[in-house]
């Protein structure tokens, strides 16, 4: 019985990964949903972050080589790895016959784990992130990021819109709003 359950879980995970990776949203989805979601995120997080002093606009003194390295690293972690775990593996794919209530429930569970993950990551694997990842403004912005990525994934069934949004938001924060300095001082 236990082996059968493990097999079913493994099949579901493989199905979700294959579908999420191979599903490419139509161009109208990118324009309508992703742009609107990024705009929503920006309209809330930018004034909030600036008001509380968490975000400080500055052109970083990083070299072009360092910026390119940030672009590449952030694509894989956090963007791809976190989106696979927190969206693809935890949320039902649009091809699964799941009620709206279950989608909301799994979305809330995924979001809660996503938020708690950041302080736990700082307490265990990434101590340099401790002051930042415990900051309430950062955690609120992480929650907003989790919400828009969850919406994009549940609407599209694709990994890629949430990866792009996660990646863009983290890179902009690191390069233009003091994130790199917060995590490396």
Per-residue pLDDT band for 5 (boundaries 50, 70, 90) equals low
SS3 57: coil
| Number of domains observed in the structure of the chain | 1
Alpha-carbon span 74 to 160, nearest angstrom: 14
The percent of residues above 90 in pLDDT, for the chain, comes to: 86
pLDDT average, residue stretch 132-143: 98
Block residue for tokens 């791809």? 80
DSSP summary character for residue 127: G
- Mean pLDDT of all residues belonging to the chain: 94
Q: Which pTM was predicted?
A: 0.94
Are the C-beta atoms of 138 and 50 separated by less than 8 Å?
Answer: no
pLDDT value of residue 9: 77
Q: Work out the average pLDDT over 19-37.
A: 92
Residue with tokens 């708690």: 116
In the 8-state DSSP scheme, what is residue 96?
S
Containing structural domain, residue 100? 2-183
């Amino acid at each position: 019985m236990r082996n059968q359950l493990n097999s079913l879980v493994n099949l579901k995970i493989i199905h979700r990964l294959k579908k999420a990776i191979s599903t490419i949203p139509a161009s109208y989805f990118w324009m309508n949903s992703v742009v609107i979601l990024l705009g929503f995120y920006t309209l809330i997080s930018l004034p909030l972050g600036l008001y509380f002093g968490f975000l400080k606009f500055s052109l970083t003194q990083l070299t072009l080589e360092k910026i390119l390295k940030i672009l590449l690293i952030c694509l894989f972690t956090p963007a791809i790895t976190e989106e696979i775990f927190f969206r693809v593996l935890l949320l039902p794919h649009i091809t699964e016959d799941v009620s709206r209530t279950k989608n909301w429930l799994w979305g809330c569970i995924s979001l809660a784990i996503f938020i708690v993950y950041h302080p736990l990551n700082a307490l265990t694997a990434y101590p340099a992130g401790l002051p930042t990842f415990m900051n309430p403004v950062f955690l609120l912005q992480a929650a907003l990021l989790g919400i828009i990525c969850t919406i994009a994934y549940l609407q599209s069934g694709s990994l890629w819109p949430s990866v792009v949004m996660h990646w863009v938001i983290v890179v902009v924060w690191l390069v233009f709003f003091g994130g790199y300095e917060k995590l490396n001082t």
